[in-house]
Structure 1
């Protein structure tokens, strides 16, 4: 590390949970003045990075808005939106989809879609098209000639080609962490911004395929500057009620901590998912008849087509609020031959509108989501208000899409580790200075992580060969992400630690197969400084013999000053107690046998998407041969394929449960879904809490939905919710919090109980398109995948519980990167380093520090506590940026929106008026105080 500090302008994006103020101590026009206060999820930057001048941006944005076709105030205006939905991997890999390879699996070639659409847009200036997935568009753009690129720029400037959403992919909303979502959105939007300027900036978020919708996603979209959000999937009971009440378009208040309208987002539910109306699909993959408009031919059908279309439009208008309705004209990987679509859409518009001379009140036009949204805004109405989320999603009585919360748990863990690894390497690239940017660090890891956020990637709902491809891409990204040698420096004292040596467990021996032969493992606590590293040395004893450990009989109690854990002498099951309160918590492992679809209620089986056990009562395992070691560790076997290690560290408020599940046996021809369940004496009243994308906590209640009267048909699956990083149950005395190391599904099925699904192995496809069962095997585990994970349990009094579990969850999500070297270190090697002058306040978390361009970096700080959550840590916090870093001088900053593609002072969003007295959940949103 060079002794002299780097002088950098710092691009700053702040995610805030209360109020932060940032004194700079400088009088700079592009810097915030001392004491400037901002609230929750705001962002800042120092330099213009590719954004065009303000006047040019405003002029181009106005030109794009003017490109919307005129509507007619006294008619029903039908907005036809030509689009394609291009999964960034699902049945085929990303590469196969782009090139059109493996059409024996699915006929789809994204490069041909974009070729064909551009060609057809040029033939008729009235036509419109929207595109979503920047990962594909980026590939296609790089292959185009400069003249074609200029042609596409002109189409974008004229509003004929519109980008919506604009992230690298259309991310999943249940199993993604907000830090990775922000990164992938930033990557996609930055490319569009640098390539097309203001006219390429999406104004509408577009999540037409994810399987349920998270409140935190809406909050992020609002703070990225989007005017509206459209999606296609909605619980069938919720949709039915909203259709009757004309509430399929609403105002989503997506944060209980942000002052409205900061996180308010207009949200529209599309009428046909994302497909065209029945009978009006004119893609080469469709069977609907074309419009045959030669009256001299016998099969002339214009009158029939127009009549059917008019009926569909008028029926749709009955369940929406204005004289504007939207129709999605396209579907999965459509428009490879765009001429088929556009030729028939041109005719449809001409013949329907031709009836206006005969008093018809239907007006059809080519449109885009932003043009449609503009008309809804002009209507100046009040809108129903929603403050909860759209989980869980069911498309019929016994078909709850809650299985994918846990599907492919190994991939979910690998994605989470990869995110942590990427953040560390981003930080090292900044702290290492210019020399670190000359190495192999590249964008491959960022692109791999961005692709992994896709709603058929980390969700676990892809074919097995595609899941393997996602993992390979992540692994390749790791190779680019190296520890930079420039971070070492001399003149630092060595670190000292005390080791305990533990024999390798039987479970570990079985998991590693023939890939290792060590007989012992080291277990010891480490301390690393913030935004830094520590070095530890390990060596044999002087006589050359390895340390040994002593085996003991199972202890009745293991404990530290915060926590006491007892084990039942008969079953080996553990119960956790805090010393002051004596509130027991029993932990058991169980399994659900999966439905094969062969029963009287429904033919729906459990699969990658759907969770449907064949009984509401799980089958328990019983602990066998518990063992203990000198390291406050107890090892448990519940069955030959389910084991657990219980660890309690000194000075830790959390109990660690390391679970190993697999190979899940299927010789009985039954799929299985393994859970861990925590049964307590906490009086929950059937309430529990789960996080939204790792950010804000939401209150849940068994068999209850805040905005409609639920008719529960699946008592287990219908009460499962995504748990991205933590969940808890509480009463006035105690709070039990579980922190997960990956996204998982879970719920509170019984009063005082919290269960989390660990692993799934299923034998039937659930008929949602993937066309293969979730039956994971590998070359190493041909008899079934073995998965290992970790849960952290803490039992605290509610006033202090949030202060403990939020930082703990962040530590698990963004865990330290471990690197190893053999032999003696250079005597001048720096053994410890921190990039901060001092630790940040407990309420403040450094989320992002990455290089933006040569002389500026991107920084995200977040106030991580909700406004109601903590008496101490929900309060405003002051951060002095000039005194923040130990190796960087902050020269100045300017403010950007959350996704870094727009100056904050230029971010003008539509204002919407909510209806009074609506939207608040019928739950006591009690404080944790």
Structure 2
């Protein structure tokens, strides 16, 4: 939590110049020019690789699709990427496919590999049956040092399901892995908890599709996990062992009679972003068949999801000499120390005034509201993330010591709708003590709590 200002200026003579990325091309559609100041070369062989400190990715050059991932510990994962289309007679609410999805990527197309000091990327503009392909995609890995980004694989799909050629078509991406998940996977409920999803032969294909608001993962009997974090809410399925397929976009002509009154024809160009994470269990294994209970993401998985769905806000300002206002502080960070890694700030705001809140304000009700959510995480996958965490929320968090140079006044617990402050009704009295007296906050996993208070500059 905080603000930071950076200034971009021309470099001085003693500054080290930025190193341009090295580019490699493969093209069967058209000649790709090499622009200055980049060094370019042609791809040789049937496969191409990109690598960082933690993993090596192998791609099929002719199709531009991911094939396998090799980790620094020598473990190898088969991850065969496939892009396909369903023909459908459904509508906005009903998914009614006419059989299995058919792959659309043909041999050929354009492939650009960019190898820079901070990021390596494979961009594929594949060849399909259509003159203008409905999807192109990029795969990226990062070299940021000791960061969360180093462990993940970023996939970005540029989808253009436009025009009558794609009427009654539904576009998917499918990852065929070597995870023996027994056709069981887990997807989240609004980013709050995970639900176990199982594929049944007794129901049609559409009955085995489940919502995936932000995360889906498969786990094998040996504890290997394959997770896909999404920036968009989508649908997912595991129709065969080791497969995880995700819906990218739909274009449907028919009204399915469920209230919309029309098909889904207002498609726009869109970018679908995934963060893929592969993890090994370090302490115990849980067979998804023998364990009917939902599993929890790892701490690293939670951090990957937060980085994907809670982005930094970047604002571009005018040049300093054009700003008439006086220069302010370049940074602002109100927290005295980082929060525990499994504690998430849902919101920190001044509530909007209503008739009820205006009455409460006159009675001296605090103006600030802080909502905290403690995530539940699987400690058997904690090794990578715990090494980067200062603390987890096993101990209490003190509201009075949370902010530096600011004093917390009139702190008290409240309901999530901010209407009730009775701690006995909220169930806080016996478990959590008096927040107003000692500022101590204890949040069990999988709970959200809200607190009202005032902030004043410390004298």
Give the structure with higher Rg (CA): 1
Aligned partner of 2:401 in structure 1 is 883
How is 1:470-481 mapped onto 2 (pairs within 5 angstroms)? none
Aligned partner of 1:277 in structure 2 is none
Aligned partner of 2:339 in structure 1 is 840
Select which of 555, 580, 590 maps to 2:83. 590
Give the Cα–Cα distance (whole angstroms) in 1 for the partners of residues 275 and 40 of structure 2: 25
How is 1:420-819 mapped onto 2 (pairs within 5 angstroms)? 531-539=1-9, 548-554=37-43, 556-574=48-66, 575-595=68-88, 605-622=89-106, 624-631=109-116, 632-638=120-126, 640-650=133-143, 652-667=150-165, 670-703=167-200, 715-731=204-220, 732-777=222-267, 785-799=268-282, 802-819=298-315
Shift of 1:565: 0.9
Higher helix share: 1
Q: TM-score, normalised by structure 2?
A: 0.69
Q: 1:675 to 1:854 in 2, by over 3 A?
A: same
Q: 1:665 to 1:715 in 2, by over 3 A?
A: farther
Give the Cα–Cα distance (whole angstroms) in 1 for the partners of residues 12 and 253 of structure 2: 55
* 2:339 pairs with 1:850: no
Aligned partner of 1:897 in structure 2 is 415
Q: 1:542 to 1:890 in 2, by over 3 A?
A: closer
Map Cα deviations across residues 854-899 of structure 1 (whole Å, 9 max, x no partner). 8431111221125777669887232122221135311242222233
Give the Cα–Cα distance (whole angstroms) in 2 for the partners of residues 907 and 689 of structure 1: 34
Uncovered stretches (5+) of structure 1, i.e. residues with no partner: 1-530, 596-604, 704-711, 778-784, 910-929
Shift of 1:664: 3.5
SS at match of 2:423: helix
Map Cα deviations across residues 767-795 of structure 1 (whole Å, 9 max, x no partner). 21212110115xxxxxxx21112111111
Structure 2 contact 341–391 (Cα < 8 Å) conserved: yes
* 2:326 pairs with 1:830: no
Structure 1 contact 609–768 (Cα < 8 Å) conserved: yes
SS at match of 1:688: strand
Give the Cα–Cα distance (whole angstroms) in 1 for the partners of residues 365 and 313 of structure 2: 25
Q: 1:666 to 1:588 in 2, by over 3 A?
A: farther
SS at match of 2:83: strand
SS at match of 1:839: coil
SS at match of 2:58: strand
Shift of 1:540: 5.7
Give the Cα–Cα distance (whole angstroms) in 1 for the partners of residues 279 and 340 of structure 2: 21
Structure 2 contact 61–111 (Cα < 8 Å) conserved: no
SS at match of 1:877: coil
Structure 2 contact 237–244 (Cα < 8 Å) conserved: yes
Structure 1 contact 865–873 (Cα < 8 Å) conserved: no
Give the Cα–Cα distance (whole angstroms) in 2 for the partners of residues 616 and 640 of structure 1: 21
Structure with higher RCO (Cα < 8 A, 6+ apart): 1
Give the Cα–Cα distance (whole angstroms) in 2 for the partners of residues 583 and 570 of structure 1: 22
Shift of 1:627: 0.6
Give the Cα–Cα distance (whole angstroms) in 2 for the partners of residues 744 and 812 of structure 1: 15
SS at match of 2:164: coil
Map Cα deviations across residues 166-195 of structure 1 (whole Å, 9 max, x no partner). xxxxxxxxxxxxxxxxxxxxxxxxxxxxxx
Structure 1 contact 535–831 (Cα < 8 Å) conserved: yes
Map Cα deviations across residues 643-688 of structure 1 (whole Å, 9 max, x no partner). 00111111611111111010434337x4111111111111111111
SS at match of 2:411: coil
Give the Cα–Cα distance (whole angstroms) in 2 for the partners of residues 862 and 844 of structure 1: 6
Shift of 1:557: 1.6
Q: 1:713 to 1:569 in 2, by over 3 A?
A: same
Give the Cα–Cα distance (whole angstroms) in 1 for the partners of residues 102 and 366 of structure 2: 58
Give the Cα–Cα distance (whole angstroms) in 2 for the partners of residues 873 and 622 of structure 1: 49
Structure 1 contact 549–629 (Cα < 8 Å) conserved: no
Structure 1 contact 686–752 (Cα < 8 Å) conserved: yes
Aligned partner of 1:150 in structure 2 is none
Give the Cα–Cα distance (whole angstroms) in 2 for the partners of residues 829 and 814 of structure 1: 26
Give the Cα–Cα distance (whole angstroms) in 1 for the partners of residues 312 and 195 of structure 2: 28
Give the Cα–Cα distance (whole angstroms) in 2 for the partners of residues 873 and 620 of structure 1: 47
SS at match of 1:804: helix
Structure 1 contact 534–833 (Cα < 8 Å) conserved: yes
Q: TM-score, normalised by structure 1?
A: 0.35
Shift of 1:532: 1.0
Shift of 1:756: 0.9
Structure 1 contact 679–753 (Cα < 8 Å) conserved: yes
Give the Cα–Cα distance (whole angstroms) in 1 for the partners of residues 373 and 154 of structure 2: 27
SS at match of 1:556: strand
Higher strand share: 2
SS at match of 1:673: strand
Uncovered stretches (5+) of structure 2, i.e. residues with no partner: 14-34, 127-131, 144-148, 284-296, 352-363, 383-389, 428-459
Structure 1 contact 654–794 (Cα < 8 Å) conserved: yes
Give the Cα–Cα distance (whole angstroms) in 1 for the partners of residues 271 and 374 of structure 2: 32
How is 1:69-80 mapped onto 2 (pairs within 5 angstroms)? none
SS at match of 1:907: helix
